[in-house]
Amino acid sequence: MWTKKDMPDLSGKIAIVTGANTGIGYETALALYEHGAHVIAACRDHVKAQQAVSAMLAFKGRGSLETGVLDLGSFSEIEIFAKSILTKYQRLDLLINNAGVMMTPAGTTVDGYELQFGINFLGHFALTGRLYPLLERIAGARVVTVSSGAAMRVDRVDFGDLKLEKEYDPNRAYAVSKLAGLQFAFELQRRLEDAGANVISVAAHPGVVRTDLGRHIPKENLEAAFSRFKAVMQPWQGALPSLYAATDIKVKGGEYYGPDGENEHAGYPALSSLVSAAALDLLQANRLWVYSEEATGVSFP
């Protein structure tokens, strides 16, 4: 039973956690800070980021904290954030692509992409690429992409429906964004290996967790959904697969972690079996990568 008490000392390491102001992102950033890392809490809302950091400081961790303003729904804002990090730091040990939205009303990012796909996946693709020069400077740097069991619900990314070209289904759109993230994590590892890089790409999913990610779902519907599960975890436990993927010495590139309980709804970190044929499809992953490079203007490694 692995918990954050089993994390190694992270003194001297620099980490970025997106969406660190709430839920799983907050617990992830807090644990890294407690174990000695310098953590950059990258959030869209500066005030909420400051409030989260103030709350973390009360735990008197061994590391240090700072905030960064990051709007994953805007490629230009991602570039601004990344340039500020590239100017300030010479290395980056951990990038945890955690931030996300779920089942939002129909809408698009600044650049015209369906909101869930744009924020959950494309924004993180662009961010990872922009920060890659810092990641490749340190042997053993890790990129952790947070996916979801929802990725199992779809068999492909529909490239003809990434800008709300078709009738909007928020449930499907969320699943597509999470499948894209998983395909990205696996494809990034393949490309890192081909490039001979010392960076690894790992994926994680939290299981069923009570956070404010479901704020766009009517409360009665959300509670009905939770009632169907035998166990619903709190954010600290939902963060454990991400933390394991980010810090444990046994982790290898291309692995995927989730809870070890029934159907991976709850439990403690273990290798996930929620990997569909689509997630492993090399042709789909390559097409997604090429699409993402063209959409974001970012190419790496």
Q: What tokens were used for 46?
A: 């500066």
Angstrom distance (rounded) from CA 272 to CA 19: 23
Q: Is the pLDDT of residue 226 over 60?
A: no
Confidence label for 233 from pLDDT (cuts 50, 70 and 90): confident
At 193-205, the pLDDT tens digits run 999 999 999 999 9
Q: In terms of Cα–Cα distance, which of 79, 84, 82, 92 is closest to 38?
A: 92
- What residues contact 61, with CB distance under 8 A and at least 6 apart? 30, 33, 34, 35, 36
pLDDT of residue 209: 81
Angstrom distance (rounded) from CA 249 to CA 122: 29
pLDDT of residue 199: 98
Q: In terms of Cα–Cα distance, which of 121, 282, 111, 126 is closest to 191?
A: 282
Least confident of 177-181, 206-210, 265-269, 291-295: 206-210
Strands 94-97 and 142-146: parallel
Confidence label for 114 from pLDDT (cuts 50, 70 and 90): very high
Residue of 174, 244, 256, 257 marked catalytic: 174
At 35-70, the pLDDT tens digits run 999 999 999 999 999 999 999 999 999 999 999 999
Compute the chain's Rg from CA coordinates: 18
Tell me the residue type at 219: K
> In order of start, what are the domains of the chain with their CATH numbers?
11-295 (3.40.50.720)
Of all residues in the chain, the percent with pLDDT exceeding 70 is 92
Question: Inter-axis angle of helices 123-135 and 75-88, to 10 degrees?
Answer: 20
Q: What is the average pLDDT value for the chain, to the nearest integer?
A: 93
Q: Is 174 a catalytic residue?
A: yes
Q: What tokens were used for 139?
A: 């042997």
pLDDT of residue 222: 47
Confidence label for 232 from pLDDT (cuts 50, 70 and 90): low
Angstrom distance (rounded) from CA 112 to CA 295: 10
